[in-house]
């Protein structure tokens, strides 16, 4: 019943996708922005949010930038619906780096989700949180990862392992050790899934920290077959590198075959050698191309670039290959187990796993065991079609170094018409490498078929392969030559008229191959040359003609036949010289000289006639190359001619003319040119570099053999030079740079620029003359000689307490237990020297909170509204911030019914709004609207009159402005109330001891420090006449305190001054302030420490300790901003 | 590690992009690739690894959709390629085939799948069974529901139990009303007949496909009557390798539903009686120098396309005559005779026979709740069956 329904449903669904596309997201992709997305995001219904998010996703898919929706999307992180969550995460990860500050807003939700009972929610939260990649939250993420690495759910642990590289990408030095520790822990995990993921983390974080592997080596080998395929790929590579770093190369392996030649394989004298009888082998059965194998081995160890650079000058034995770093696969258990555990993986259905396993055997297995990898590799060519090309590239290297491995399987490299062109050429190359006397005939039969392939480029490549085979196996050279000659003749005759560009390629290649074969033994192939020369007339491809003429000149004296026909040929060449291409003409001219130098021709006069005719023609050629060449050669010949005359009668005693020597040098010798063009670049099997044939960034050759030993506690062997590393560092620098920029700019747009726009009214009431009385030197730090001891005690007792007094709050419960101890000591506690504690009394009277304009008279028809945050705390609810609002009537007429209210949910299109940041323009009301306690209406405001009201507002968000509607005389006007995070806290009175204690409980991730410069004291100094030195200290302390208290609702706990300090040196002044967050009464501790002298801007380091990290960070940013900005 | 994945339509349009790491890849890279394809020809689409000026590109083309992945650092290229293939498989499975429209219509699911399949450039969950549990594939029920109620979620609320089990490819608490398991031998015959009419190569590439609908945690053993004929094998991860090494027995806990248990190659063929061959089709491409053609056959239908691809559908072999095709080809002017010859690709189907001669001995089920229904089938198709002329 059920299945039946399923069946119809499926067939129907096919129909629907074809015809109707109903119920899909098609319309969303096609017209993602045909409705306004913003209101949907704020909808009460999950389905509407979902739709909005899908529309955003569609825009992302199509490459549009929709990062301006970021603030609204972030809010939806809190959604309970997993689908909304998932979509938000997708969006968030796409833009987090662009909008770091807003991304920070989501952190609290992630932290909440990390404690969720549903492992899926925990995993997603971790993945996304780590994916945001902000330096500011790195320590938070680290703690989260550490916790998740101990999660009961395998899936979460796996995600933790994958999150580690994200953290590592940020390149924060201070976290390196902690990250590696977690990697080590995860590598020990019981679940293969986790081990696989942590292997990938290991490989990208600390690939040379072999001590982590050493501890688990055996277990990792054993678990390898159960690890997921992707993890296997990486883990195999790690184990291989470890085995080499620990034990060195294997004596019997291919890597040391070069040495074998000298040592004469020790097995031969080995009494145990009868054990190897199971498979009788003689030397030839795995004959290794030692020269190439040696290059391969050295390239693997050193990287080809380094190796090649060294190749020229130094004796080759420098690294790794001396006897001390050699082990044996038979006696070494670690090597044995590695080979054992990787060999079943050769049956994997994932081609990458097979190739990785094959690579281990290639490098580590005794030569006679390498053949194990052959069949699995060959099977990949059929079973994993997409991987074919890459597998072939690797086989090509294997075959070059050890042709015998693959030579019995030549049929597997026969070309199928469905292969891509590149695959075909690779197969041809491999075939010509592995061809043997026995297989060559079948291979030739195949080649002959390919020559007639419609793809002429491929046919030409086949011809080239035939040439290579013939050079490699001289026995078959004659057969090849016959076949090629036949081909050349038929090709040239076939295309007398229609010779398309494509056809030329083949003929040229045929001649090229013939030339290469003849070069090896010209004397036995005279007949071929004659044939070719005879068919010269029917060849039209210039390159082919040029080559035939070259052969004619080069081999003009090898036999009777050639000598006989030379005069005729030159007559023919003279005849058609004018119509030849430049390339051919040059060769003809060259041939002239060669013939005159060498040929033993009977009828010289006729030949000379023809040649001089040709040279005359050439001298007047249109092409200057030809002309120049002809002139030079003519000069030679003026001597050679004479030489030729006389040679018949006399010996060449007196002809040591210089030109003759030149001519002889240039054209006489039959120089042996190394014919094999060979790619000497070898990279590790299975690597990307091997495919692209250059070292890709991050490519590392094998570690130096035996560079790692267990007792070594250090991490990396000395030779580890890491391109990758330096690359990444550059990148991260860039990132952090831009991050910082964004940090400041974004914050200033959020709060500071707001102030710039709104008029800022600060009142500087003349308080300065009272400064002396305001500040009392207290003997709070009692025995002034024992300052040191006291302060040290303070901080150290804090350290001790921290272990016991760790608060067990919500966040804490999932944090790992010992997170506190590691990062406990705060930087600033060390700064303490001899300090005098001073207290600034009555400063509260001086505090004048900053005022902002809500509405200025021109915009409000004469009504001006100014507000300032008050330090009072609302009686109604702790979540409300109190704001003093002053309404003043600057117009001539009275105003009625002035009233401030919440904006209605339907937003007006406020594009005309002069707001700076894009986030504001899309900002509309939230479903949990920031509530406003209804304000008492002002019935009437006469001209010049001012009325004050207290507004109690709950800001949903501590960075985003709140829109209000101001009605006056029935007119409505939209105004924006800017939140000031400095007033979302209230003073938390405490004494210095409890402050320090609290501070010590909030180390590590709860602590953030930013620096800024404070220069206000400079203005003051300039304004006034030199006040006494002492006062500068006090004045600055007071200035700072005032600044702090005027901008944030904090309690000034203490002001510490260094006593023994240089009079001018302000370094060490330390202000402590405390507050608690209105919403949840979580304390925020602020510590300002100064550095610098009176005469220059001070460097203020602001430290924030707060359990609610994000709030703390935002408040910290705010403090830094207002400290840096001048008071008017 | 991979930095970004793009899906491109066959006209080069970027259907969607998924950034994977902090190092973002601009989609301009797709334009670069497409320019290269336009200048170097379509054959570039078959090159799986390309080094562009800024990134290394990996591509897999499936049914006209290009799956493109980018990286800037060393990584195993096959890992990228295999992963892209896996993505293509999963998408094709979810969406009932691949084409531009179906991807656009279901882009949200594609995104959700990609997000689950890869994290920070490293594959996360690629097991199709688990993915299906985490993200429901689109089907008519959910579509109708979404129209009626306006909302459904395809995102599962719970983590599939299999992620924690030691058999991650299998749901933990499966219940089927009917307990059944079907084993199909699907073989493809690869053969090459050269221009002289000699058989150069003849071998079988086969797959053992299992469709399992079993409750609980069944443990199966499958043995063959003649395992010695296997030349090469590769296995699904569920197969335990030790029993195979020892006795050539397949012992496994199957995933639910259809999957490929093993694939193999048999190179020495014994003659197997063949009863009926059908779906015979011949395909070839006329050489480029042929200007026009007029081909007809005495049986079946001949169809020549613009790109000179010629297909001849024969179907079942007629009893009374040998099918033949004849006609005239007109060469381009100046050509005297045809000097290049096409290769004919032959397709066919033989039902009920595994040409390799492979025989299943028995299929045992340990810890059965009830006796399952077992079924076996065999089928041979033409694989790379080529006749050169």
Task: Summarize pLDDT for A48-104 with one digit per residue, the tens.
Answer: 888 888 888 898 888 888 888 888 888 888 888 888 888 888 898 888 878 877 888
Residue in chain B closest to A731 (alpha carbons) equals B23
Most B-contacting residue of A49, A382, A411 (CB-CB within 10 A), to test interface: A382
Q: Which of A516, A403, A529 is nearest to A465 (CA)?
A: A516
Residue in chain B closest to A392 (alpha carbons) equals B78
Residue in chain B closest to A418 (alpha carbons) equals B384
pLDDT tier, A18 (very low <50, low <70, confident <90, very high otherwise): very low
Residue in chain B closest to A15 (alpha carbons) equals B140
Q: Min CA distance, B145 vs chain A (Å)?
A: 8
More confident residue, A567 or B204: B204
- The two tokens of residue A1021 are 């100094």
Residue A1000, SS3? helix
Instruction: Map A128-158 to HEC letters.
Output: HHHHCCCHHHHHHHHHHHHHHCCCCCHHHHH
Q: Please judge whether A454 and B342 are an interchain contact, meaning their C-beta atoms are less than 8 angstroms apart.
A: yes
- The two tokens of residue B225 are 């009557």
Q: Which of B295, B297, B274 is nearest to B348 (CA)?
A: B274
The predicted model gives A123-140 an average pLDDT of: 86
pLDDT at A752: 35
Give the model confidence (pLDDT) of A630-676 as tens digits: 888 777 666 655 544 434 334 444 444 566 666 666 666 555 554 44
Q: Min CA distance, A226 vs chain B (Å)?
A: 8
Which residues of chain B make contact with A414, given a CB cutoff of 8 A? 192, 200-201
Which residue ranges of chain B lie beneath pLDDT 70?
139-154, 161-166, 272, 368-369
Give the model confidence (pLDDT) of B158-203 as tens digits: 777 666 666 777 777 778 878 889 999 999 999 988 888 888 888 9
pTM over 0.90: no
**Is A507 within 8 Å of A539 (Cβ atoms)?**
yes
Which residues of chain B make contact with A452, given a CB cutoff of 8 A? 195, 339-341
Give the model confidence (pLDDT) of A222-269 as tens digits: 999 889 899 999 999 999 999 998 888 888 888 887 554 444 333 333
pLDDT at B141: 59
Q: Which of A102, A83, A89, A35 is nearest to A60 (CA)?
A: A89
Q: Min CA distance, A376 vs chain B (Å)?
A: 7
Which residues of chain B make contact with A391, given a CB cutoff of 8 A? 78
Q: Which candidate from B105, B151, B332 shows the least CB-CB separation from A47?
A: B151
Q: Which candidate from A23, A229, A494 shows the least CB-CB separation from B143?
A: A23
How many residues would you count in chain A?
Answer: 1128
pLDDT at A756: 37
Which residues of chain B make contact with A10, given a CB cutoff of 8 A? 139-140
Q: Please judge whether A153 and B163 are an interchain contact, meaning their C-beta atoms are less than 8 angstroms apart.
A: yes
pLDDT at A856 over 70: yes
Q: Please judge whether A691 and B77 are an interchain contact, meaning their C-beta atoms are less than 8 angstroms apart.
A: yes
Q: Which candidate from A159, A375, A416 shows the least CB-CB separation from B386?
A: A416
Q: Give me the phi and psi of A471, to 5 degrees please.
A: -70, -35
Q: Min CA distance, A118 vs chain B (Å)?
A: 7
Which residues of chain A make contact with B163, given a CB cutoff of 8 A? 153-155, 158, 193
**Is A801 within 8 Å of A998 (Cβ atoms)?**
no
Q: Please judge whether A24 and B232 are an interchain contact, meaning their C-beta atoms are less than 8 angstroms apart.
A: no
Min mean pLDDT across A234-248, A546-560, A869-883, A1056-1070 is at: A1056-1070
Angle between helices A456-472 and A477-494 (to 10 degrees): 150
Element (H, E) at B33: helix B28-40
Q: Min CA distance, B191 vs chain A (Å)?
A: 10
How many CB atoms are located within 10 Å of the residue B188 CB? 19
Q: Which candidate from A23, A191, A452 shows the least CB-CB separation from B147?
A: A23
Residue A778 and residue A770: Cα distance in Å, rounded? 18
Q: Please judge whether B336 and A494 are an interchain contact, meaning their C-beta atoms are less than 8 angstroms apart.
A: yes
Q: Complex ipTM, two decimals?
A: 0.93
Q: Please judge whether A155 and B164 are an interchain contact, meaning their C-beta atoms are less than 8 angstroms apart.
A: yes
pLDDT at A806 over 80: no
pLDDT at A821: 36
Most A-contacting residue of B23, B41, B82 (CB-CB within 10 A), to test interface: B82
Residue in chain B closest to A487 (alpha carbons) equals B339
Q: Min CA distance, B54 vs chain A (Å)?
A: 11
Residue A750 and residue A979: Cα distance in Å, rounded? 9
**Is A163 within 8 Å of A141 (Cβ atoms)?**
yes
Element (H, E) at B365: strand B360-366
Q: Which candidate from B14, B22, B166 shows the least CB-CB separation from A97?
A: B22
pLDDT at A31 over 50: yes
Q: Which candidate from B107, B190, B260 shows the least CB-CB separation from A61?
A: B107
- The two tokens of residue B26 are 């601009």
- For CA atoms B33, B39, B44, B50, the dihedral sign is negative
Q: Min CA distance, B98 vs chain A (Å)?
A: 12
Most A-contacting residue of B79, B161, B287, B308 (CB-CB within 10 A), to test interface: B79
Point out which residues pair with A1074 in neighbouring strands: A1051, A1085
Q: Please judge whether A445 and B336 are an interchain contact, meaning their C-beta atoms are less than 8 angstroms apart.
A: no
pLDDT at B263: 93
């070292």: which residue's tokens?
Answer: A695
pLDDT tier, A842 (very low <50, low <70, confident <90, very high otherwise): low
Q: Which candidate from A28, A384, A696 shows the least CB-CB separation from B56?
A: A696
pLDDT at B60: 93
pLDDT at A472 over 50: yes
Q: Min CA distance, A242 vs chain B (Å)?
A: 18
Q: What share of chain A has pLDDT > 70, as a percent?
A: 70
Please state, rounded to an integer, the average pLDDT across all residues of chain A: 73
Most A-contacting residue of B45, B65, B159 (CB-CB within 10 A), to test interface: B159
**Is B256 within 8 Å of B161 (Cβ atoms)?**
no
Q: Which candidate from B105, B134, B336 shows the least CB-CB separation from A26?
A: B105
Q: Min CA distance, B319 vs chain A (Å)?
A: 31
Q: Which of B227, B232, B225, B228 is nearest to B205 (CA)?
A: B232
The predicted model gives A606-615 an average pLDDT of: 82
Q: Please judge whether A445 and B14 are an interchain contact, meaning their C-beta atoms are less than 8 angstroms apart.
A: no
Q: Please judge whether B43 and A159 are an interchain contact, meaning their C-beta atoms are less than 8 angstroms apart.
A: no
Q: Please judge whether A724 and B73 are an interchain contact, meaning their C-beta atoms are less than 8 angstroms apart.
A: yes
Q: Which candidate from B95, B124, B177 shows the least CB-CB separation from A162?
A: B124
pLDDT tier, A739 (very low <50, low <70, confident <90, very high otherwise): very low
- The two tokens of residue B347 are 């397709």
Q: Min CA distance, B293 vs chain A (Å)?
A: 16
Burial of residue B320, with CB atoms counted within 10 A of its CB: 0-12 exposed, 13-18 middle, 19 or more buried? exposed
Number of A/B CB contacts below 8 angstroms equals: 323
Element (H, E) at B148: helix B140-148
Q: Give me the phi and psi of A1004, to 5 degrees please.
A: 55, -115
Min mean pLDDT across A605-609, A1083-1087, B279-283 is at: A605-609
Most A-contacting residue of B122, B179, B268, B329 (CB-CB within 10 A), to test interface: B122
């Amino acid at each position: 019943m059920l299945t039946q329904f399923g069946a119809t449903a499926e067939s129907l669904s096919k129909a629907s996708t074809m015809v109707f596309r109903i119920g899909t997201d098609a319309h969303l992709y096609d017209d993602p922005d045909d409705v306004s997305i913003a209101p949907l995001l704020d909808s009460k219904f999950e389905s509407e949010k979902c739709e909005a998010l899908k529309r955003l996703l569609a825009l992302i898919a199509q490459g549009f930038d929709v990062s301006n929706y970021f603030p609204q999307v972030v809010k939806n992180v809190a959604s309970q619906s997993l689908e909304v969550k998932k979509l938000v995460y997708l969006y968030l990860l796409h833009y987090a780096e662009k909008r770091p500050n807003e991304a920070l807003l989501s952190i609290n939700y992630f932290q909440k989700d990390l404690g969720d009972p549903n492992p899926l929610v925990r995993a997603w939260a971790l993945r996304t949180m780590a994916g945001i990649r902000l330096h500011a939250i790195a320590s938070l993420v680290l703690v989260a990862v550490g916790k998740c690495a101990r999660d009961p759910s395998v899936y979460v642990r796996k995600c933790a392992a994958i999150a580690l590289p994200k953290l590592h990408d940020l390149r924060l030095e201070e976290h390196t050790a902690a990250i590696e520790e977690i990697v080590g822990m995860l590598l020990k995990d019981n679940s293969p899934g986790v081990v696989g993921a942590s292997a990938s983390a290991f490989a990208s974080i600390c690939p040379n920290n072999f001590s982590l592997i050493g501890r688990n080596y055996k277990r990792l080998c054993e678990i390898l077959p159960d690890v997921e395929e992707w993890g296997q790929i990486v883990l195999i590579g790690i184990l291989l590198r470890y085995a080499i770093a620990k034990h060195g190369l294997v004596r019997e392996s291919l890597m040391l075959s070069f040495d074998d030649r000298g040592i004469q394989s020790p097995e031969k004298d080995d009494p145990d050698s009868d054990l190897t009888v199971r498979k009788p082998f003689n030397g030839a059965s795995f004959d290794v191309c030692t020269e190439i194998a040696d290059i391969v081995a050295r390239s693997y160890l050193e990287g080809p670039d380094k190796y090649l650079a060294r190749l020229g000058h130094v004796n080759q034995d420098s690294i790794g290959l001396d006897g001390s770093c050699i082990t044996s696969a038979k006696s070494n258990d670690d090597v044995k187990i590695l080979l054992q555990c990787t060999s079943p993986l050769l049956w994997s259905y994932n081609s990458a796993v097979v190739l990785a396993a094959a690579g281990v055997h290639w490098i580590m297995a005794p030569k006679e065991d390498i053949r194990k990898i052959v069949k699995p590799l060959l099977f990949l060519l059929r079973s994993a079609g997409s991987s074919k090309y890459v597998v072939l590239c690797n086989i090509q290297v294997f075959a070059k170094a050890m042709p015998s491995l693959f030579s019995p399987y030549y049929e597997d490299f026969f070309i199928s018409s469905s292969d891509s062109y590149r695959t075909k050429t690779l197969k041809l190359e491999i075939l010509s490498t592995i061809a043997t006397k026995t297989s060559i005939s079948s291979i030739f039969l195949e080649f002959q078929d390919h020559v007639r392939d419609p793809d002429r480029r491929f046919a030409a490549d086949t011809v080239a392969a035939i040439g290579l085979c013939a050079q490699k196996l001289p026995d078959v050279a004659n057969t090849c030559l016959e076949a090629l000659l036949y081909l050349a003749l038929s090709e040239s005759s076939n295309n007398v008229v229609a010779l398309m560009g494509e056809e030329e390629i083949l003929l040229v290649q045929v001649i090229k191959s013939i030339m290469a074969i003849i070069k090896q033994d010209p004397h036995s192939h005279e007949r071929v040359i004659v044939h070719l020369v005879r068919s010269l007339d029917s060849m039209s491809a210039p390159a082919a003609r040029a080559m035939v003429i070259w052969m004619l000149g080069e081999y003009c004296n090898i036999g009777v036949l050639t000598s006989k026909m030379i005069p005729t040929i030159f007559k023919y060449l003279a005849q058609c010289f004018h119509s030849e291409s430049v390339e051919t003409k040059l060769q003809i001219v060259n041939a002239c000289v060669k013939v005159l130098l060498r040929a033993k021709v009977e009828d010289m006069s006729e030949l000379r006639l023809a040649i001089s005719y040709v040279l005359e023609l050439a001298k007047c050629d249109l092409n200057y190359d030809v002309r120049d060449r002809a002139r030079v050669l003519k000069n030679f010949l003026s001597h050679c001619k004479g030489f030729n005359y006389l040679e018949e009668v006399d010996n060449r005693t007196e002809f040591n003319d210089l030109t003759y020597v030149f001519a002889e040098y240039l054209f006489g010798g039959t120089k042996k040119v190394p014919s094999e063009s060979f790619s000497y670049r070898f990279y590790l099997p299975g690597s990307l570099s091997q495919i692209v044939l250059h070292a890709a960034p991050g490519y590392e050759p094998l570690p130096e053999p035996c560079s790692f030993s267990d007792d070594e506690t250090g991490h990396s062997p000395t030779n580890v030079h890491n391109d990758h590393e330096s690359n990444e560092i550059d990148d991260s620098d860039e990132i952090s740079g831009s991050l910082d920029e964004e940090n400041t700019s974004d914050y200033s747009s959020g709060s500071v620029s707001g102030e710039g726009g709104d008029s800022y009214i600060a009142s500087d009431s003349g308080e300065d003359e009272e400064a002396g009385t305001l500040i009392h030197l207290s003997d709070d730090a009692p025995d002034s000689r024992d300052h040191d001891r006291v302060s040290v005690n303070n901080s150290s007792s804090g350290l001790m307490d921290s272990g016991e007094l760790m608060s067990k709050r919500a966040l804490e419960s999932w944090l790992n237990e010992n997170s506190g101890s590691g990062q406990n000591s705060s930087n600033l506690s060390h700064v303490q020297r001899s300090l005098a504690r001073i207290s600034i009394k009555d400063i509260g009277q001086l505090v004048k909170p900053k005022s902002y304009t809500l509405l200025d008279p021109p915009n409000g028809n004469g009504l001006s509204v100014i507000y300032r945050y008050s330090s009072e705390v609302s009686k109604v609810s702790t979540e409300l911030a109190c704001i003093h609002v002053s309404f003043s009537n600057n117009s001539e007429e009275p105003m009625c019914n002035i009233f401030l209210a919440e904006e209605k949910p339907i937003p007006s299109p406020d594009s005309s709004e002069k707001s700076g940041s894009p986030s504001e323009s899309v900002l509309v009301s939230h479903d949990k609207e920031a509530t406003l306690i209804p304000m008492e209406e002002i019935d009437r405001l006469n001209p010049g009159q001012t009325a004050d009201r207290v507004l109690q507002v709950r800001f949903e968000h501590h960075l985003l402005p709140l829109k209000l509607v101001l009605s006056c005389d029935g007119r409505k006007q939209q105004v924006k109330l800017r939140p000031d995070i400095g007033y979302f806290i209230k003073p938390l009175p405490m004494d210095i001891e409890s402050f320090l204690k609290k501070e010590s409980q909030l180390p590590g991730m709860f602590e953030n420090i930013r620096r800024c410069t404070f220069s206000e004291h400079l203005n003051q100094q300039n304004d006034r006449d030199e006040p006494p030195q002492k006062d500068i200290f006090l004045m600055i302390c007071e200035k700072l305190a005032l600044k702090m208290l005027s901008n944030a609702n904090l309690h000034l706990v203490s002001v510490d001054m260094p006593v023994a300090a240089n009079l001018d040196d302000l370094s060490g002044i330390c202000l402590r302030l405390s507050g608690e967050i209105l919403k949840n009464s979580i304390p925020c501790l602020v510590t300002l420490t100064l550095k610098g002298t009176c005469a220059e801007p001070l460097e203020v380091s602001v430290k924030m300790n707060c359990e609610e990290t994000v709030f703390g960070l935002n408040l910290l940013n705010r403090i830094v901003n207002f400290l840096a900005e001048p008071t008017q | 590690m991979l930095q970004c994945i793009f899906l491109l339509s066959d006209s080069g349009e970027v259907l969607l992009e998924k950034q994977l790491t902090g190092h973002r890849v601009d989609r301009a890279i797709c334009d670069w690739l497409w320019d290269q394809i336009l200048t170097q020809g379509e054959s570039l689409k078959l090159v799986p690894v390309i080094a562009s000026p800024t990134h290394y590109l990996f591509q897999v083309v499936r049914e006209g959709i290009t799956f493109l992945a980018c990286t800037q650092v060393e990584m195993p290229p096959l890992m990228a390629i295999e992963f892209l293939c896996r993505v293509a498989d999963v998408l094709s499975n979810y969406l009932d085939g691949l084409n531009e429209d179906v991807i656009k219509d279901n882009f949200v699911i594609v995104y959700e799948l990609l997000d689950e399949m890869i994290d920070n450039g490293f594959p996360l969950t690629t097991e199709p069974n688990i993915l299906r549990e985490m993200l429901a594939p689109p089907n008519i029920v959910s579509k109708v529901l979404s129209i009626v109620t306006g909302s459904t979620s395809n995102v599962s609320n719970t983590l599939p139990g299999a992620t924690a089990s030691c058999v991650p490819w299998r749901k933990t608490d499966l219940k089927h009303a009917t307990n059944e398991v079907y084993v199909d031998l699907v073989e493809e015959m690869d053969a090459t007949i050269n221009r002289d009419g000699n058989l150069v190569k003849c071998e079988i590439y086969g797959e053992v496909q299992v469709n399992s609908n079993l409750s609980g945690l069944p443990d199966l053993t499958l043995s063959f009557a003649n395992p010695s004929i296997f030349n090469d094998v590769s296995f699904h991860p569920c197969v335990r390798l030790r029993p195979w090494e020892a006795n050539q027995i397949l012992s496994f806990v199957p995933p639910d539903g259809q999957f490929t248990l093993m694939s193999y190659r048999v190179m020495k063929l014994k003659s197997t009686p063949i009863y009926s061959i059908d779906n015979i089709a011949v395909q070839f491409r006329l050489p480029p120098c042929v200007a026009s053609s007029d081909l007809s056959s005495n049986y079946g239908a001949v169809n020549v396309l613009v790109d000179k691809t010629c297909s001849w559908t024969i179907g079942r072999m007629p009893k009374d005559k040998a099918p033949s095709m004849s006609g005239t080809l007109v060469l381009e002017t100046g050509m005297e005779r045809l000097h290049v010859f096409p290769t004919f690709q032959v397709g066919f189907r033989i039902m009920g026979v595994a040409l390799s001669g492979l025989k299943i001995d028995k299929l045992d089920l340990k810890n059965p709740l009830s006796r399952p229904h077992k079924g076996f089938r065999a089928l041979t198709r033409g694989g790379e069956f080529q006749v050169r002329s």
